[in-house]
């Protein structure tokens, strides 16, 4: 029987592509997504994406969403306690693996492996050591679409916030920036691609700088009224 697997889901392109890769495997069954949320602002941690968009995203890929609420600010102990609780709960329901979209940061992988050790769930890294330039181009060529939701202006010009992750963006990135932003240079929100049953209608809204990062407030464009734009980006 395929092993039931959760996917750590940041809402970005790497998570979306990890789902695509995992769904090609006959030994695994992705049964849910796990996302950490800033409980104060109700936005995806680090990426700054609204909860409403995250929920629509999960619906579009056809998977249940497990939200881990984190306080703001959040200590390492609080984060690890929240994740242990989620792992314990899902393991008891038969989940055997948790997958991550990490690409090449050895310290991050080592941290995940150490924290998963002894939990009864195996960590998986379906994109590990893929060439990030080839991977970025493959994502785009195969129909993955995403917007830049957050960036570090020390490495990427602020004007990239809200831009679509496409071949033109890759060509215009500073030469020392990883094409997938794996060093934290930028983060994205995926809204269409082969892993989606239907695309999300998304438009970039207000761009703000907060705590040393630049965020583009992405808004859902449909009959539902989006949440107030005054909600803080975090």
pLDDT at 96: 97
pLDDT at 182: 97
The Cα angle at residue 140 between residues 42 and 5, in degrees rounded to 5: 55
Low-confidence ranges of the chain (pLDDT < 50): 223-231, 234
pLDDT at 233: 54
| CA distance to 4, 9, 35, 91, 223, per residue, from 120 (Å) | 12, 20, 20, 7, 44
pLDDT at 12: 98
Global pTM value = 0.92
Distance, CA of 44 to CA of 35 (rounded, Å):
7
Distance of CA 154 to the CA centre of its chain: 21
Report helix angle 76-91 to 106-116, nearest 10.
50
Q: Which CATH number does the domain 3-220 belong to among 3.40.30.10, 3.50.50.60, 1.10.3720.10, 3.40.50.620?
A: 3.40.50.620
């Amino acid at each position: 029987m395929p092993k039931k697997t959760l996917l750590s889901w940041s809402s970005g392109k790497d998570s979306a592509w990890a789902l695509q890769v995992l769904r090609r495997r006959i030994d695994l069954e992705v049964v849910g997504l796990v996302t950490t949320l800033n409980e104060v602002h109700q936005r995806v941690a680090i990426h700054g994406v609204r909860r409403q968009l995250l929920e629509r995203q999960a619906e579009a890929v056809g998977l249940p969403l497990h939200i881990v609420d984190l306080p703001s600010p959040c200590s390492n102990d609080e984060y690890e306690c929240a994740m242990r609780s989620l792992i314990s709960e899902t393991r008891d329901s038969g989940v055997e693996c948790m997958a991550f979209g990490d690409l090449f940061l050895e310290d991050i992988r080592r941290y995940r492996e150490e924290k998963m050790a002894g939990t009864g769930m195996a960590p998986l890294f379906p994109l590990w050591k893929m060439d990030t330039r080839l991977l970025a181009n493959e994502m785009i060529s195969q129909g993955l679409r995403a917007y830049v939701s957050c960036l570090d202006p020390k490495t990427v010009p602020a004007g990239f916030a809200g831009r679509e992750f496409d071949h033109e963006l890759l060509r215009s990135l500073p030469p020392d920036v990883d094409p997938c932003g794996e060093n934290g240079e930028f983060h994205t929100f995926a809204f269409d691609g082969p892993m989606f049953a239907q695309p999300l209608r998304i438009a970039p809204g207000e761009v703000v700088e907060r705590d040393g990062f630049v965020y583009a407030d992405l808004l859902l464009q449909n009959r539902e009224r989006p949440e107030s734009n005054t909600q803080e980006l975090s």
